[in-house]
Amino acid sequence: MPARDPNQVRVVVKTLRIMETLAQAKSSMHLGEIARTVGQPKSSAFRILSTLKQQGYVEQVAGTDAYGLTDRIALWTRNKIEDTLRQTARPFLGRLLARFEETVNLAVFDSGQVRYVEILEGLRSIRANPTVNTVAPLHCTGLGKSMLAYLPPRESRQWLEANSPLQKYTEHTMTSLRALNNEFSRIRKQGIAHDNEEMEMGARCLAAPIFGPKGEPVAAISISGPVSSMRGKTIQEIAQALKQCTRGISVQLGYLP
């Protein structure tokens, strides 16, 4: 047996083992099961779990001795992933802004909504310009629809059903599940999602998804601006440029087309 490193803090090792065990579990685990899995006395495991609970990393199932991890630990990973995403995407976003002079947005899924993580302001602003870390609906934004369209059908259907009836923001907002599913089919064929005054009258948006290593939609980029400037040939050029940029970012993130 190798000698124990004198610099190793035993309680930290025990804590990490408990957190790893909970992370691998498919559901909450009872105290005795946790203690057996990590090879610790129940009293020791209980003290660690109580501390993690007080700090917001573990939650206890009411009325039981079962525990599970909270979403707080996921924030560490999420922040690192988003930093990588932003750094990878920035050169592409800058080129889109320079070429079209319209607002360019980078967004991710966040608790069933779109959350903006990077915004480059264009020359022609619209009334309800979002800011970084604000959220928007999925069903009536180009960003949201571009990601919903590429989720496994069961997941997108569950989201739509869970959020029905869908809120109508303008006279153009799609709220019919059948209409949205048809829209998702079109998006998958063309690779581009449209928001034609569905969130705000007078505003138009085109978006395309960014894929992760497993082919899952992890983010999306959109170009938005007034209807008066985003029409005709410009729309076709924006669509093609968006697809090229999101494909390049996806490949850099490990996606194999």
Q: Are residues 93 and 51 in the same domain?
A: no
* 89 and 64 belong to one structural domain: no
Number of domains the chain is built from: 2
The HSE-up count of residue 210 (CA atoms within 13 Å, CB side) is: 28
Based on the fold, state whether residues 217 and 94 are members of the same structural domain.
Answer: yes
Residue 1's pLDDT is what?
45
94 and 62 together in one domain: no
Domain of residue 20, residue span: 10-70
Note whether 82 and 202 are same-domain residues.
yes
For residues 159 and 60, state if they share a domain: no
* CATH code, domain carrying 190: 3.30.450.40
In a domain, 1, yes or no: no
Residue partners of 116: CB distance under 8 A and separation at least 6: 105, 106, 107, 130, 131, 132, 133, 134, 135, 136
Which of 21, 50, 70 is where one domain is finished? 70
pLDDT over 90, % of the chain: 66
- Are 62 and 95 in the same domain? no
Question: What pLDDT shows up at residue 184?
Answer: 95
CA distances for 120 relative to 70, 143, 210, 223, angstroms: 33, 15, 18, 10
Is the residue at 46 inside a domain? yes
- Residue that is written with structure tokens 């930093």 in the block: 83
- Angle (CA) 215-154-204 rounded to 5° is 70
CATH of the domain at 45: 1.10.10.10
R_g of the chain computed on alpha carbons: 23
Is residue 184 one of the residues assigned to a domain?
yes
- Which regions of the chain are under pLDDT 70? 1-5, 7, 74-79, 125-128
Distance CA 223, CA 13 (A): 47
Say whether both 136 and 28 belong to one domain: no
Whether 29 and 128 map to the same domain: the answer is no
**Per-residue pLDDT, 210:** 96
Cβ pair 241, 99 in contact under 8 A: yes
> Half-sphere exposure of 229 toward its Cβ, with a 13 Å CA cutoff?
15
Find tokens 């707080």 and name the residue: 72
Whether residues 158 and 218 share a domain: the answer is yes
Helix-helix angle 153-162:177-190, to 10 degrees: 140
Contact, 187 vs 139, CB < 8 A?
Answer: no
For residue 135, the tally of other CB atoms under 10 A from its CB is 14
Question: Do 150 and 210 share a domain, yes or no?
Answer: yes
Q: Which tokens belong to 75?
A: 């924030």
- Please check whether residue 62 lies inside any domain of the structure: yes
Task: Give domain status of residue 5, yes or no.
Answer: no
Residue 2 belongs to a domain: no
Q: What span, in angstroms and rounded, lies between the C-alpha atoms of 125 and 226?
A: 7
* Cα–Cα dist 58/138, whole Å: 30
Do 35 and 147 lie in a common domain?
Answer: no
